[in-house]
Structure 1
Amino acid sequence: MAALDELARNYCTSVVLCTATQPALRQCDIALPTLKNGPEQGFDIDQQRELAPDPEGLYATLKRVTVEWLDHPVTDEEIAACFSDCPQMLCIVNTRAHAQELFEAIKNLPGARHLTTLMCPSHRRRIWAEIRQDLQ
């Protein structure tokens, strides 16, 4: 952030940030109180600089999922129980080994699928085709 701030302020550059997972970079997006101006507290970017029209409205319109943050550890058994209770669910875990262990616990449930970049492309395409078919 400091490098971007330096380039924009002192080297006549423009910074365009374009990502599907935009981090909180503006002062108004950061939950911590701003004690001083500077990149460590977020950039002072006003709404007129936003390239996407009405980001809050777009977020609400395009929202397709519910993210649930838990404040306590959850066991694989609890996650597997959630899968059996929900008609549609996606679970992302930290490691490939954990993903494989979790899949072993739910593999007999209807529609259960496991995807990993370790699969060859044709296998991943087949899994994606099965998922699309299930969703239809």
Structure 2
Amino acid sequence: MVSVMRILPTLLLLSASMLVHAQATRGEQDALALAIKSQQILNEYSVGAVEPEAMKYAQRLKLTKAALDGQHKQWPTVADGSPDPSDRFRACKSALEQASAVAGLSGMKATRTLDDQVFHAEKGKLQTLRSACDEAVKRAGLQR
């Protein structure tokens, strides 16, 4: 009976530790799933978003921006400074936001109201963010 009383607190601590680890792992898995979904949306819509000819049609522009903005809204907002498992995938969130902005710029460029330098600079930022998103997802996949 005495030995059980000595072992029980240790077992409880181990169980609590395993539970915390499982929850952290679940959060990381959710973050990775969100990043992968964002990557898919980016791959599907960002190609058209950077094409002024495709974005000159109001309906296509609205659909593209709605898809990108909708996925962007899926990302959690952490305001209290608590650990955020999705933090290492923030490039994916930023890329969604940038792709939506570039789609709007593409629409403007199609009507010739946007400077080429501005458009190409924003397009370059999008490409950099997409690459960072791809790299973060790739690294996370290798760690699993």
Is the structural similarity TM-score above 0.5?
Answer: no
The normalised TM-score by structure 1 is 0.24
The normalised TM-score by structure 2 is 0.23
Structure with bigger RCO (C-alpha 8 Å, 6+ apart) = 2
